[in-house]
Amino acid sequence: MVMIKLETIDIVFSYDGNSGPMILDDVSIQLAPSRILGIVGPNGSGKSTLLKCIDKIIQPDHGSVLLDRREIMKMGRMEIAKKIGYVQQTISRGFPTSVFDTVLMGRRPHLSWRSDEDDDEKIWEVLRLLDIEDLALKYFGELSGGQQQKVLIARALAQEAEVILLDEPTSNLDILRQFEVMDIIRDLVNKKLVSAIIAIHDLNLASRYSDKIIMMRRGKIVSAGEPSYVLTADNIASVYGVEAIIRKQSEAPYIIPVGPIKTTMRQ
């Protein structure tokens, strides 16, 4: 029997309640312990909204989110923060704190009145892990987009959560830094027994690093399973409207986009 760390059951969400357009439509996923689940799909497919529902940032109109078989919606904010870390896609550039203090915020669920030496050491540990130790005293708002993204990931790691949600964690990074960040996430999953859900646009990164993938379109899951099952030429054509060639690289599919498919061919 496969253990389930986190699952969503028939999640439905609309920003205007039942009267508005459906953003998520009966979305059910399962995340096993110490695994990476990749979520792929075009803009507007519901990837970010699903992560926000899981972290109780927004509440679904229908359905359940279960963490270790407990209903997330019945848990308090601080209890959730001890178990789930969320790395959002964008944040205000004017964040008026130093990098060290920004990452220290990740320790808040574990603090009483103030931080101690153990908390400070944990901060330095994750700063070194992400190779941003030299940025510790700089203000968050002074950093580049890529540097900010790494600081937000560091904050989630300092949180020592059991599940990490990442919304486009490589979107502002160059190619080398993308691999570095994804390698760090993979190492954490393997060595710290953390589970991760990553919403990501890059299909090849999703293929390389995900244990399972769900592909979404217009709020629905259209395919779910191992990368080789989901990332097929037919699925990419149907969901993205793009012709692609699929190659195998170390057992994972490697996607080579060829070009857009004419609308008449997709209908």
Could you tell me if residue 245 is inside a domain? yes
- Please give the pLDDT value at position 160: 85
- Please give the pLDDT value at position 37: 98
- CATH code of the domain in which 198 resides: 3.40.50.300
- Please give the pLDDT value at position 94: 57
- Please give the pLDDT value at position 114: 60
CA–CA distance, 151 with 87 (Å, rounded to integer): 10
- Please give the pLDDT value at position 115: 59
CA–CA distance, 141 with 64 (Å, rounded to integer): 37
**Other C-beta atoms lying within 10 Å of the C-beta of residue 15:** 11
- Please give the pLDDT value at position 165: 96
- Please give the pLDDT value at position 181: 86
Q: What is the number of domains present in the chain? A: 1
Helix, strand or coil for residue 118? helix
Q: Which residues of the chain fall short of a pLDDT of 50?
A: 113, 264-265, 267
- Please give the pLDDT value at position 34: 94
Could you tell me if residue 54 is inside a domain? yes
Could you tell me if residue 231 is inside a domain? yes
Could you tell me if residue 256 is inside a domain? yes
Range of the domain at 59: 6-91+161-266
pLDDT tens-digit readout, 130-150? 889 999 999 998 888 778 888
- Please give the pLDDT value at position 172: 77
